[in-house]
Amino acid sequence: MPAGGVAARAGVVGALQGAVHARLTSKEFGGALGTLCDLRTGAPDAALSPREGDLLRPVWRRFRRARSLPARLVSETAEAASASQHAWAEARRRSDFKLLRPHLERIVRLKREAAACLGGAHPYDPLLDEYEPGMTVAELDGLFGSLKGPLVALAGKARGRGRRLAALADSRHDGPSLDIFCRSLASDMGFDLSRGVIARSAHPFSTGLHPTDVRFTIRTTGDGVMNQALSALHECGHALYEQSLDPRWWGTPLGEYASLGMHEAMSRLWENLVGKSREFWLGRWPSLRRAFPEALDGVSVDAALSHMRRVAPGTVRLESDEVTYSLHIILRYELEKSLADGSLAVRDIQEAWNELSRELLGLAPVDDRRGCLQDIHWAGGLIGYFPTYALGNLYGAQLYARFCADHPGWDARLTRGELAPLTAWLKEKVYRHGRRWPAAELVRRATGRAPSTEAFLAHLDARYAHG
Amino acid sequence: MPAGGVAARAGVVGALQGAVHARLTSKEFGGALGTLCDLRTGAPDAALSPREGDLLRPVWRRFRRARSLPARLVSETAEAASASQHAWAEARRRSDFKLLRPHLERIVRLKREAAACLGGAHPYDPLLDEYEPGMTVAELDGLFGSLKGPLVALAGKARGRGRRLAALADSRHDGPSLDIFCRSLASDMGFDLSRGVIARSAHPFSTGLHPTDVRFTIRTTGDGVMNQALSALHECGHALYEQSLDPRWWGTPLGEYASLGMHEAMSRLWENLVGKSREFWLGRWPSLRRAFPEALDGVSVDAALSHMRRVAPGTVRLESDEVTYSLHIILRYELEKSLADGSLAVRDIQEAWNELSRELLGLAPVDDRRGCLQDIHWAGGLIGYFPTYALGNLYGAQLYARFCADHPGWDARLTRGELAPLTAWLKEKVYRHGRRWPAAELVRRATGRAPSTEAFLAHLDARYAHG
């Protein structure tokens, strides 16, 4: 999209959102829904099957959200977010939080107003619920509380581990070799190229228009062959989820991903748990070296792993490693929560950010650009979104641990280049269920336990504690 | 889009079309429109300004079409077209018209039914009117009738003219040079890159989402530098039209292109009248040779012009030259007209096609793939669309002739690389008016004359009659 098209797109998106809101809050829709469930509680009619009830509950949640929020608040928030994102770009360019402050104050005020309309045990709960249905502050406090200490300790222990290889980091791949490698990798993962497209773009992304039309990209200009491969694993993980949703349920919650946290789990599992494992690369090394002789000549699998597993605490989330990544999220979560309940004012964000950065990451950002201005989320009105990234780490690790426990010969198969058994298991346990249950329930059904930090910490410990 | 996504997209497009149809035929819409114009004739209320009346007329035409066509017929046609396009692809692959025949019979039956619902002096009129509002068989018979003889004669005279240069035709350009050249060319034409994007795709196209977001492409893999440049001129011509529509009128007929014929005029004018002129290339040759030394080393402007102006009658429209192109359209027009009034049966298309091909082009296709199966239009339900291509040639030539007459020093300016005066004139005479008037009226206002074949034939005669 050209820069000039931003306003027109915002207008179209706003019009569509308005149409959806009008439909959801219409008398006809409420009337029809009321014949199937209790409109106050969402409890399905006793005559419905369990599956029908599961389908109905997310519809009711969406209905309740739409009915609770005044149309005026919805459109004002959309408008504020649009203006705020422009201001953020400028503030970030100048590394000056002051330029964003009035906009962010407006966003926070609108979000607190929305939270009050929606209700919840904590004012942050209904904001979080938009991205991770069913998740609460009470639960997140528990999960992140038990994550914080061990991660800080592990980051301290592993700091400086791993060694950057210029050949891997700086190589540029504009030719067809990388596309061929990524297509073959995606195909091995189970991505169906007759129902999907892999292309190049400035920033990698994936998008599912329908299970028969799922698209993801790798970067236009090279970013080092390892980064491109990890990025392909990440995006293809998202894409596989979208491609494996049941097309018969398309347009209903059963044909939709469970939550953003679960979507992120499906990408991070492939990127980190599979993609930074020794077994995965052992099997692919010969073909990779043939494809990229300049970058990989003389580079061993272990040197590549050391490159991928560098641990170097910094202040920028997008440059962070597997160990410290979740600490960046906890920092944002603490601030969002305080903004939501009013215990933190927007004017104090900078100071609070830097303080938490020192506490969690061991260092404060050198400027706002590398601190509280690094992400667009808040400026875009996305408050309550960040925790889904860390939940993705937890869900993914717990699911993968269970898969490995149930597949004793997996390491050997992975070394032989097999990926399909993992995809088949995820299809069975996660993909095909869509939004039938909240993500935490989906994890419990797949692994026998509620989401916890145990598998994730065990994985990091095994990989990073003993350098 | 992946091949598997066709059905899902058809479903979404169908749903949106259904929503538009429901809105257009709703009691509210009809009631509101009825306060502004006579719903039977479309005559605007006397209290409205001329501009308001001009805005209303195309809205009323759309309303009348929607109201005249039963929803059942609209959705059955969409469904038939979707199935038929699949059949066409297979029939074309096997070069066997029989495989398409039953599908095409259904399409023709539905289109004749639609024509009967809509009414007109000739059954083809309402089909044509969908793509070229206001145009009729009576008028087209006159235009094409006076085109046919001279074009057949000129094609005979010019046959074999021009010389193909392998260096220009076969060179492949996957690197950045071609993108840089096309961006600079588009920029000289007046294309605003802050409100537009130029990308690569398998088939070149242009699309206008809004005047602030217009995108066009050149081919992913090279097709010879001259073809790519001509294709860029063609698509950028379309794109300039979209980018120059008045954003204040977006969403109304005044912010929409006048007709498909006029859109095609805006692309063909740049591609053929400007892009195959000696003056245009003289000014660009030094920079082009620097950008593509391998392809252009030792190639003179005149050799390149000879390459671009080859005349070689064949049976495939998309491979045809500037002289014979319109004959391919006249062939299709004659057949469509006969299908519409029932004087030609689908089972006789093959024979009728081959006979007309001999008459107009001097040779019959060697097989269906290069004959009656070469275009997807009819299979896609587009009956009445083809004439707009030839109208584009006529409108474009007439407008350009007028522009040249009003700008005596134009050849010299074009040789110096100037393109902006032409864009400014088209903006003034065509772009900014949107759909305010039918294309023929727009041509009359811009040139002082109703559309005729005179300027087009004079142009071809000057360029091709004296080899």
Question: ipTM of this predicted complex?
Answer: 0.84
**More confident call, A106 vs A292:** A106
DSSP codes, A203-222: S--EEEEETTEEEEEEESS-
Backbone angles phi, psi at A363, to 5 degrees: -155, 150
Cβ atoms of B238 and B216 within 8 Å: the answer is yes
pLDDT tens readout for residues A407-460: 999 999 999 999 999 999 999 999 999 999 999 999 999 999 999 999 999 999
Starting at the earlier edge strand, list the strands of the sheet with A206-210. Answer: A196-201, A213-219, A206-210
Backbone angles phi, psi at B155, to 5 degrees: -60, -40
pLDDT tens readout for residues A222-274: 678 888 999 999 999 999 999 999 999 999 999 999 999 999 999 999 999 99
Starting at the earlier edge strand, list the strands of the sheet with B196-201. Answer: B196-201, B213-219, B206-210
Query: Closest by alpha carbon to B275, among B126, B70, B419, B74?
Result: B419
Q: For residues B433 and B427, what is the distance between their CA atoms, to the nearest angstrom?
A: 8
Nearest residue of chain B to residue A247 (CA atoms): B8
Residue A405, chain B, CB below 8 Å: the answer is no
Copy the structure tokens of residue B404.
């040249």
Does the beta-carbon distance from B5 to A192 stay under 8 Å? no
User: Given this model, what pLDDT does residue A466 score?
Assistant: 86
Residue found under tokens 């503030």: A91
Coil vs helix vs strand at A441: helix
Cβ atoms of B84 and B104 within 8 Å: the answer is yes
Kindly tell me the burial class for residue A244, based on how many C-beta atoms sit within 10 Å of its own C-beta (0-12, 13-18, 19 or more).
buried
Q: For residues B260 and B435, what is the distance between their CA atoms, to the nearest angstrom?
A: 11
Q: Where are the domains of chain A?
A: 3-121, 122-467
Spell out which residues of chain A touch residue B195, defining contact as CB-CB under 8 Å: 2, 4-5
The percent of residues in chain A predicted with pLDDT above 90, rounded, is 82
Count CA within 13 A, CB hemisphere, residue B267: 26
Coil vs helix vs strand at A59: helix
Interface test with B, best of A172, A209, A214 (most B CBs within 10 A): A209
Cβ atoms of A327 and A361 within 8 Å: the answer is yes
Residue A250, chain B, CB below 8 Å: the answer is yes
B193 Cα to chain A: minimum distance (Å) = 7
Mean pLDDT of chain B: 94
DSSP codes, A295-306: HHTT--HHHHHH
User: Given this model, what pLDDT does residue A18 score?
Assistant: 86
CATH classification of A122-467, choosing from 3.30.1490.20, 1.10.1370.30, 3.30.360.10, 1.20.140.10? 1.10.1370.30
The percent of residues in chain A predicted with pLDDT above 70, rounded, is 99
User: Given this model, what pLDDT does residue B467 score?
Assistant: 66
Which H or E run contains A144?
helix A137-158
Spell out which residues of chain A touch residue B187, defining contact as CB-CB under 8 Å: none
**Residue of A28, A52, A235, A279 marked active site:** A235
Residue B26, chain A, CB below 8 Å: the answer is no
Distance of CA B199 to the CA centre of its chain: 21
User: Given this model, what pLDDT does residue A222 score?
Assistant: 65
Which H or E run contains B393?
helix B387-406
Residue A16, chain B, CB below 8 Å: the answer is no
Residue A4, chain B, CB below 8 Å: the answer is yes
Copy the structure tokens of residue B346.
């689908």
The whole model's pTM is what? 0.88
Spell out which residues of chain A touch residue B193, defining contact as CB-CB under 8 Å: 2
Residue A201, chain B, CB below 8 Å: the answer is no
Spell out which residues of chain B touch residue A195, defining contact as CB-CB under 8 Å: 2, 4-5
Backbone angles phi, psi at B244, to 5 degrees: -100, 5
Q: Which residues contact B206 (CB under 8 A, 6 or more apart)?
A: B214, B215, B216, B217, B235, B236, B238, B239, B242, B267
pLDDT category at A16 given cuts 50, 70, 90 is confident
For chain B, which ranges sit under pLDDT 50?
A: none
Q: For residues A83 and A71, what is the distance between their CA atoms, to the nearest angstrom?
A: 19
User: Given this model, what pLDDT does residue B221 score?
Assistant: 72
Q: Which fold has domain B89-467?
A: Neurolysin; domain 3 (1.10.1370)
Residue A133, chain B, CB below 8 Å: the answer is no
Beta bridge partners of residue A197, listed in sequence order: A215
User: Given this model, what pLDDT does residue B297 score?
Assistant: 86
pLDDT tens readout for residues B331-366: 999 999 999 999 999 999 999 999 999 999 999 999
Coil vs helix vs strand at A196: strand
Residue A195, chain B, CB below 8 Å: the answer is yes
Q: For residues B310 and A342, what is the distance between their CA atoms, to the nearest angstrom?
A: 75
Does the beta-carbon distance from A196 to B2 stay under 8 Å? yes
Copy the structure tokens of residue A83.
């203006």
Cα–Cα distances in angstroms (integers) from residue A16 to residues A11, A13, A21, A22, in the given order: 9, 5, 9, 10
Query: Could you give the residue numbers annotated as active site of B?
Result: 235
pLDDT category at A169 given cuts 50, 70, 90 is confident
Mean pLDDT of chain A: 94
Q: How far is it between the farthest Cα atoms of chain B?
A: 69
User: Given this model, what pLDDT does residue A167 score?
Assistant: 83
Please say if the pLDDT value at position A129 is more than 70: yes
User: Cβ of B351: how many Cβ atoms within 10 Å?
Assistant: 11
B198 Cα to chain A: minimum distance (Å) = 10
Does the beta-carbon distance from B209 to A5 stay under 8 Å? yes
Residue found under tokens 């064949």: B314
Of A5, A211, A212, the CB nearest to B210: A5
- Kindly state the average pLDDT of the residues A387-391: 98
User: Given this model, what pLDDT does residue B170 score?
Assistant: 79
